[in-house]
Amino acid sequence: MKLKSTPLILVFIWCIFMGITVGSIGLGAVFPSLNLIAKPFVCPRGEMSLTTQDYTPTPVETVTTLTWYCVDSQTGEQVELGIFPMVLYAGIIYGLLLFAAVFIGMTIQAKRRASASPPEDDFSRGSFKNDDDDSTNRTSRIERRLVELEKLRNQNLISDEEYKKKRIEILEEL
């Protein structure tokens, strides 16, 4: 099981983007208290407070404005917070949380894929790996093949007839 780094980087960027746009801007507009997660970054020495103002520019239209303030806990001074720093901090936090969830899901999926497909061995493919054609490498390769072949017979994965036939083929390569 191995996760490739390029898709992982793209997923990370996508998660940060989604955290900012959907999490902080979108859901933060519907549920303003979600943006309180940015408090330690945008208002470290005070409390964040929200004031809303409703006004009616036309008889059929009502507009609500949201204004965030950082209220100093010692002096009570209110400083208006910019929406972009708050949205960026909150969105990055939500993006990191989303990335953690997606990463866990990707890891679980990769483990399932790895366990669903058993690894192929050289014998089941019908051929053995060719390292080099040097005589010393050939001898060690043949020895490895014979050991593997014997393991297969001992585990009853091949019959004695198959073992003898394949052993003769391997020894003929000497």
The answer on pLDDT for 145 being more than 80 is yes
Pairing assessment for the beta strands 61-72 and 78-80 based on DSSP bridges: antiparallel
For residue 33, the Cα-to-chain-centroid distance in whole angstroms is 28
Q: Lowest-pLDDT range, 2-11, 39-48, 163-172? A: 2-11
Per-residue pLDDT tens over the stretch 56-101:
989 899 998 888 899 988 888 898 988 888 899 999 999 999 999 9
The continuous run of DSSP H or E covering 119 comes out as none
Q: Exposure string (b/e) for 44-80, b if CB count within 10 Å is 16 or more?
A: eebebeeeeeeeeeeeeeeeeeeebbbeeeeeeeeee
Report residue 146 as tokens: 């014979």
pLDDT score at 6: 79
pLDDT score at 118: 58
What is the rounded radius of gyration, in angstroms, for the C-alpha atoms of the chain?
32
More confident position, 133 or 157: 157
pLDDT score at 131: 46
The answer on pLDDT for 122 being more than 70 is no
| Mean predicted lDDT score pLDDT of the chain | 84
Report the share of the chain in percent with pLDDT over 70.
87
Question: What backbone torsions phi and psi does residue 75 show, to the nearest 5 degrees?
Answer: -100, -20
Report residue 79 as tokens: 């400083």
For residue 99, give every residue at least 6 positions away whose Cβ sits within 8 Å of its Cβ, in sequence order, or none.
11, 12, 15, 16
